[in-house]
Amino acid sequence: VAQARPYVLINVAATADGKIDTIDRHGAAISTERDRRRVDALRASVDAVMVGPRTLLDEDPRLTVRSAELRAERVARGLPEQPAKVSLLAHPGLLRPDSRFVSSGAARIILFVPDAPAAAGSTGGAASPGANPAAPAVEVYRVGIGRVDLTQAMATLVQRGIARMLVEGGGSLNFELLRLGLVDEVQVFIAPLIFGGATAPTLADGSGGLDVRLTQTEAAVWEDGGVLLRYMVDRG
Ligand SMILES: NC(=O)c1ccc[n+]([C@@H]2O[C@H](COP(=O)([O-])OP(=O)(O)OC[C@H]3O[C@@H](n4cnc5c(N)ncnc54)[C@H](OP(=O)(O)O)[C@@H]3O)[C@@H](O)[C@H]2O)c1
């Protein structure tokens, strides 16, 4: 029986050659102004926004809804002004309380970490908020032994009121979520750029391959030279 989980939507901005960053991995700008507004609206439409560990630590994204109008609309709908921010790390101490991820915007912060190897004898069952050395506002859940169990993390999220979640990379997290069948929808903005480089990150980086089938629901050509592609993940 499939475990309950949030509706999960992956969004990436990619180049015409399918890269989501340059080989230097400094978080290259790919989105256009219009695409940044689209992503802002996507964030405003979800209960939570998730990023992977390397994206969190290297780029320290804010992940906030920038538009005051969209924030006001959320509040009018009875939602928190900002969606929750979700990530995973090897250890809660890696999350800096002064990071933009933690401190930008009035957002609930949810962090998943694995059980320490020393705790391998524990049940690995129900997630429990751990003591939080990072910041008082951060909810820390220990799920999985050695690595974060993403399926269990999703179940925890839905139990904690996250019904719809936007995932904003990076490529490794996207790969893992797709591999585990935890993704419902993929949106790709293709910018008129080529970054090249065999090692530059892509939408789904991981060791091994995937065979994920999609159904296209939208393909829009934008006046800024971009193309927006929207797909639903086929349930096999
Ligand atoms: N253009 C865009 O839309 C966009 C958006 C976001 C990021 N990016 C780009 O993507 C790149 C970052 O991608 P990335 O793949 O390096 O970073 P990432 O997905 O943010 O994080 C990768 C890390 O996650 C770890 N990980 C994955 N699943 C895990 C699990 N279940 N438990 C514990 N750890 C887990 C991996 O560990 P292992 O190595 O042990 O597997 C790896 O160290 C950057 O260049 C960034 O600019 C682009």
Q: For a pocket test of ligand 1, which of 9, 10, 15, 21 has the largest count of ligand atoms closer than 8 A to its C-beta?
A: 21
- Taking CA atoms only, the protein residue closest to ligand 1 atom 27 is 173
Q: For a pocket test of ligand 1, which of 15, 36, 172, 182 has the largest count of ligand atoms closer than 8 A to its C-beta?
A: 172
Average pLDDT, the chain: 92
- Taking CA atoms only, the protein residue closest to ligand 1 atom 10 is 170
The CA distance from 154 to 148, in Å, is 11
- The answer to whether residue 73 scores a pLDDT higher than 60 is yes
Residue 48 CB-half CA count within 13 A:
25
Pair 109, 138: CB distance under 8 Å: yes
The CA distance from 195 to 222, in Å, is 20
Q: Which of 160, 158, 169 is nearest to 9 (CA)?
A: 169
- Taking CA atoms only, the protein residue closest to ligand 1 atom 47 is 27
CA of 142 to the centre of ligand 1 (A): 19
Residue 236, pLDDT score = 74
Question: pLDDT digits over 78-115, tens only?
Answer: 999 999 999 999 999 999 999 999 999 999 999 999 99
What lies within 8 Å, CB to CB, of 60 at 6+ separation is 99, 100, 101
What tokens appear for 80 in the block?
Answer: 């928190």
In this structure, which amino acid lies at residue 99? S
- Taking CA atoms only, the protein residue closest to ligand 1 atom 12 is 170
Q: What average pLDDT does range 169-184 have in this prediction?
A: 97
Q: Which of 235, 163, 176 is nearest to 51 (CA)?
A: 176
At 210, is the pLDDT very low, low, confident or very high (cuts 50, 70, 90)? very high
- Taking CA atoms only, the protein residue closest to ligand 1 atom 20 is 52
Residue 1, pLDDT score = 53
Q: Output the CA angle 110-175-6, nearest 5 degrees.
A: 45
Work out which ligand 1 atom sits closest to the CA atom of 90.
33
Helix, strand counts (H, E) of the chain: 6, 9
